């Protein structure tokens, strides 16, 4: 073969190699959107970080402002991502956690606490208004049925399943002081492994269509707290395998567990993670962040709080003495909400078009 022919073959090989590299680069850029970590970090690079000199209230205001400005674009990207990888209809799964101390069930189930009538209405609000594919009750006493008080208000248990779990007792060699903190860890582990929505029994679902849209639009979401540097674990949803629950477990419970601090691990560290990377979790307002001074007004007055405009409501209110009879006599916005959950009436105002993502505030 002549030198000229060898030279031409060499140039052809180089050209082919260059073309292959350019093709790979093109495909890498084209399909970056299918890798969530790269997708959302690229999306948020234009967001300016919070000034370290800001006070706690201003830091949260900055976070909410950044998320609101990017909400439509983020939601569209996440929907495109999930639609691109989902080969079948995605299940809507709701998780509740009902844990008991060992001393409560020694010698039988006589001392185990059934859920209250109000907690039955929390479950009913999920079954009626969200209509999930599966409703999982995670409990460490699976042979105990804690829903005796629900028999008059819930008749269809088709989607409800009891999931046996084991108590953890320890985290990083430290004893859990509060059983609620054990439940918070189980929430995060369950959301990372299976995805879905984790709720406390004092959360009431109001607008299920809007909640489904939120679940479809964000990798994770968690409700805001009334304090400036906290989120609330009573209302948290994530897609399976999401970054946020895994990071909270690693950065909070596994690395900085503080059993004596009620909200450090479940509220403050998650907020810090959201400030560091707003794409990790969408902060949902007006579900958990009603100021404490306004909660009594909701419970005692009518018209003070327009619950019909909300996606859900975390009441922080537990009263085992409330019955169906006393509920009918409750002359307040909260009473109106609970009576509506028990009724067959549509959500007031549902005849109007649905609200978009930018109304999630």
pLDDT in tens, 298-328: 777 887 778 898 999 998 888 888 888 988 8
| Residue-level pLDDT at 73 | 83
More confident residue, 194 or 26: 194
**348 within some domain:** no
Residue 204 makes CB contacts below 8 A (sequence gap 6+) with: 121, 122, 125, 312, 313, 315, 337, 338, 341
**193 within some domain:** yes
Query: Is this structure's pTM higher than 0.75?
Result: yes
**224 within some domain:** yes
Lowest mean pLDDT among 33-47, 73-87, 135-149: 33-47
User: How many domains does one find in the chain?
Assistant: 1
**188 within some domain:** yes
**323 within some domain:** no
CATH number reported for the structural domain that contains residue 131 in this entry: 3.90.550
**346 within some domain:** no
- Domain with 142, as residue range(s), is 56-282
**23 within some domain:** no
Distance between CA atoms of residues 203 and 123, nearest Å? 9
pLDDT band at 284 (very low <50, low <70, confident <90, very high): very high
**347 within some domain:** no
pLDDT in tens, 22-70: 444 333 333 233 334 444 443 444 344 555 667 878 899 889 998 988 8
Lowest mean pLDDT among 153-162, 219-228, 349-358: 349-358
Is the pLDDT at 137 greater than 90? The verdict is yes
CA 23, 27, 28, 29 torsion-angle sign: positive
């Amino acid at each position: 073969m002549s030198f000229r022919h060898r030279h031409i073959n060499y140039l052809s090989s180089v050209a082919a190699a260059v073309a292959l590299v350019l093709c790979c680069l093109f495909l890498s850029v084209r399909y970056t959107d299918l890798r969530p970590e790269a997708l959302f970090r690229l999306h948020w690079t234009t967001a300016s970080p919070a000034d370290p000199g800001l006070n706690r209230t201003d830091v949260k205001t900055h976070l909410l402002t950044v998320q609101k400005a990017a909400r439509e674009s983020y939601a569209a990207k996440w929907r495109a991502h999930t639609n691109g990888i989902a080969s079948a209809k995605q299940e809507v799964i709701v998780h509740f956690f009902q844990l008991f101390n060992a001393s409560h069930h020694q010698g039988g189930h006589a001392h185990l606490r059934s859920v209250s009538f109000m907690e039955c209405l929390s479950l009913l609000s999920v079954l009626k208004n969200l209509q999930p594919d599966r409703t999982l009750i995670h409990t460490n006493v699976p042979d105990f049925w804690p829903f005796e008080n629900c028999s008059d208000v819930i008749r269809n248990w088709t989607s409800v399943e009891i999931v046996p779990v084991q108590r953890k007792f320890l985290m990083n060699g430290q004893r859990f002081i509060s059983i609620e903190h054990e439940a918070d860890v189980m929430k995060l582990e369950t959301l990372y492994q299976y995805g879905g929505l984790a709720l406390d029994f004092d959360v009431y679902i109001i607008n299920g269509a809007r909640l489904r849209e939120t679940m479809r639009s964000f990798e994770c979401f968690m409700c805001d707290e009334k304090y400036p540097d906290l989120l609330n674990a009573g209302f948290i949803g994530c897609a399976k395998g999401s970054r946020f629950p895994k990071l909270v477990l690693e950065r909070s419970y596994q690395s900085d567990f503080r059993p004596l601090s009620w909200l450090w691990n479940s509220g403050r560290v998650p907020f810090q993670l959201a400030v560091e990377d707003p794409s990790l979790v969408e902060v949902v307002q007006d579900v958990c962040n009603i100021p404490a001074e306004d909660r009594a007004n909701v419970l005692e007055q009518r018209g003070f709080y327009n619950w019909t405009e909300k996606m859900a409501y975390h009441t922080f209110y537990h009263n085992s003495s409330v019955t169906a009879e006393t509920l009918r006599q409750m002359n307040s916005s909260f009473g109106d909400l609970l009576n509506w959950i028990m009724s067959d009436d549509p959500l007031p105002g549902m005849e109007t078009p649905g609200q978009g993502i930018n109304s999630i505030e």
